[in-house]
Structure 1
Amino acid sequence: MTAAVPIVPTVSRPLPRAFWALVVCQLVNRLGSFVQPFLVLYLTQDRHLSAGTAGAVAAAVGAGSVVSQLVGGWLADRVGRRATMLVCFFGTAAALILLGSARSMPMIWAAAFAVGLLGDLFRPAVQAAVADLLQPGERVRAYGLLFWAINLGFSVSTVSAGVLASLGFGLLFWLNAATSVIAGVVIWTMVPESRPVLDEGADRRPLLPVVLRDRVFLAVVLLQIGYATIYFQGYSTLPLAMARDGLPSSLYGTVIGLNGVVIVLLQPFLVKRLASYDRPKLVAISMLVVGLGFGLGAVVDTFWGYALTVVVWSIGEIGFAAVIGAVFADIAPLDLRGGYMGVTGMAFGVGTVIGPLAGPNSLQHFGATTTWIGVALLGVVIFIGQWLLVPALHARAAANAATA
């Protein structure tokens, strides 16, 4: 992979006002992400539910999120990007208030699922809107900026949420809802509809039949599931492995916090450089770095050792997150761009289910060394798979660019 052979020429020009509104929207939305990290604590301490029931309610939020990706992509293509984001942000505010005030279990279950379902509708709509608003050569920079804003907002919210929770869990729900409304107002006032207009008389094709015939796209989606499976070891297997090595949970918080620090500090300096590289190859290398970064867990057992592993896979995450959205935008059909983004988001959600199931069980039955070596090997496998797809992805991107 060389910087001299990108798929498309890198474009350097001021990004449009509507894009910066999307960045602000993402930042505000993440700054207010108070409820989900503290949902289990709220349910057990304030609503006096058992740990198992509280975990199941949190899982209901996750289930809604997985469904939300596909629904959000479909809505983005059918009713528009702007309308989908407005439904997301204003609907999420209502669902959060309902969840915070619900007393009966049926209402808690329903509100939790609604928070997950409505809360992630915006993801495929935003991804599609960025592809609509910007030329291919601008997209890596744009997706990288969105990723940076999300991580900056989430880093601040996780710290401030702990302080706010001490004043009462109810405050978290109202503040989270308020930031969601603010994000909706930003969309309402500053982001126009960007959904491409089809030729007169043309109908939008149904999503699933097209996706199921698209072998190249399905292969990339499968690799993304593998990547998500690796990535979520950081939130499932890593804390357990550190505990096995006698490290306190407070040190896990510090170690995993390095992920956000590395992204916030390095992303602005790397994103312009990343935009000049061959996108599919950069995705492959980034997935390999993430896999090998986790694989280093097989040879470390101290705080500083685990901190090093997080720094390594965080650098790989920067490369992956900055480029993968542009890769999918390059290969998605114009009339189904939102739906394709939704499918990719749903695939990542599948990885969030597989990862926390596979890693801890492997740790329990086979030990830390075998588990981390297995994660590294999975990183090698998805690297090879992505590298083999590079010619097909180049051809698809070129064909889409010629007909856009």
Structure 2
Amino acid sequence: MFSGVWGYVGVWAITAVQASPGDVGVMFLAYSVASGISGFGGGWLSDRVGRRSVMIVGWGVASVLIAVLPLARSSVWLALSLAVLAMVIGAPATSACATVISDLTDEGTREQAYAATRVMFNIGSVLGPPLAAIVLIARSWTLLFVAGSAVGLITVALVLMTLPRDHPGDRTAPEVAAAPRPERFVILRDRPFLLLLLSTLLGWFIYVAFSYVLPVVAVADYHTDPVAWGFIAAINPIIVVLFQMRTSRWTAGFSQSGKLFSASLLMGMPFLLLVVLPNAWGVVLLTLLFVVGEMLWAPVSQSLSVSMAPGSMRGSYMGAFRGVSQVAMGLAPFVVLRVYELGDDIAWVLLAVVSVLAAVGGWAAAAVAKRTGRVGQQT
């Protein structure tokens, strides 16, 4: 639902609502900041009222708001605000969903579980925009948003049917209900986790630069045909779908600290290829190396975040994890494109340096967590 609707909401805003490109830029910035806050809030709330309730309400309300978007075309700012609100209200449900995975797995299988969800995420990201395009053959934005809303409500129905009210980790589960409540602001005093969050923020900074900045540069400055870019961009999700689970199995015996270190470097250092190969071939080589790092990095960082959380605060910790990704979504394009104006090589060196900092931070956080007994032998 979100990849299909959000992939076209900017086009809708410009063509149907008559918003300016600058207005759309503000919409995306507001979305990234507000979703970071609501994502953390949703994780915190799921620790208190249960993951199931947050998922049902978040995705349900978001679906309804998406359905009424066509009614807001009379005012640019009303339409854009309603679009942002729909996505922001859905963010807590996504945080709760990520936490459910940790509730239903143990430390030995958790990384594989997060790898599996990344496969589903990429399938959804690949299918969403084409399916939305098929709906738009009818030239009706109303039909697109109603169809997107229907998919969202089907998701809510699946949660109701498949996730029991007293699943492990839910507030109604006896073992969780009996667990003592941790002190307030415990995350702010959890230095290893804060270090992991910083490393995660830097990792997402690189990821967002790859996803949103690289296409602009490849088409505008490296003379990559927009059609060719579409095929290059497809390399990433195709490899993830085919090899994510295999990568997790092949690297199961390696330490999480080592995987975080090497994954961060594989994501950022290949940008230096564009210094010597500022063309489509350089972009392809970068994409191939980046996706290997991405497949290592994402499941490990999620699994480690959960392992470091107190049992009754998994939602809050996963909410913070999601929150930094949203902050990076607004921060990375702004910073990297500004630096790119000073020189493309400077921008690529910046991303390489960021990857080194992310690698060191992730390695240190995982090493401290293992040394202090907060994670098991697989860390």
Equivalent position amino acid for 1:181 in 2: L
- Partner of 1:134, secondary structure, is coil
Q: Which moved more, 1:181-190 or 1:347-356?
A: 347-356
Q: 1:277 to 1:122 in 2, by over 3 A?
A: farther
Q: How does 1:113-262 map to 2 (within 5 A)?
A: 113-167=84-138, 168-192=140-164, 193-194=167-168, 195=170, 197=174, 203-205=180-182, 207=184, 209-242=185-218, 243-262=220-239
Among candidates 341, 345, 348, match of residue 372 of structure 1: 348
Q: 1:276 to 1:239 in 2, by over 3 A?
A: same
Deviation per residue, 1:175-194 (Å, 9 max, x gap): 21111111111110111243
Cα distance in 2 between the residues matched to 1:217 and 1:337: 12
Cα distance in 1 between the residues matched to 2:105 and 2:14: 46
Cα distance in 2 between the residues matched to 1:216 and 1:160: 42
* 8 Å Cα contact 1:81-1:129 kept in structure 2: yes
Equivalent position amino acid for 1:63 in 2: V
Deviation per residue, 1:191-228 (Å, 9 max, x gap): 12432645777652355x10111111111101111111
Cα distance in 2 between the residues matched to 1:146 and 1:73: 18
Q: What displacement does 1:305 show?
A: 2.2
Q: What displacement does 1:106 show?
A: 5.0
| Percent identical residues | 24
* 8 Å Cα contact 2:17-2:79 kept in structure 1: no
Tell me the TM-score normalised to structure 1 length.
Answer: 0.85
Q: Which moved more, 1:301-310 or 1:174-183?
A: 301-310
Q: 1:400 to 1:306 in 2, by over 3 A?
A: closer
Cα distance in 2 between the residues matched to 1:258 and 1:133: 31
Q: 1:374 to 1:59 in 2, by over 3 A?
A: closer
Among candidates 39, 57, 60, match of residue 69 of structure 1: 39
Equivalent position amino acid for 2:27 in 1: V
- Partner of 2:182, secondary structure, is coil
> Which residue does 1:303 correspond to in 2?
280
5+ residue gaps, structure 1: 1-28
Cα distance in 2 between the residues matched to 1:102 and 1:401: 51
Q: Which moved more, 1:222-231 or 1:263-272?
A: 263-272
1:318 aligns with 2:295: yes
Q: What displacement does 1:309 show?
A: 0.6
Cα distance in 2 between the residues matched to 1:390 and 1:326: 11
Tell me the TM-score normalised to structure 2 length.
Answer: 0.91
> Which residue does 1:392 correspond to in 2?
368
Q: 1:49 to 1:325 in 2, by over 3 A?
A: same
Deviation per residue, 1:67-88 (Å, 9 max, x gap): 2211110111010011111112
Q: How does 1:281-300 map to 2 (within 5 A)?
A: 281-300=258-277
CA RMSD, Structure 1 to Structure 2 (Å): 2.1
> Which residue does 1:86 correspond to in 2?
56
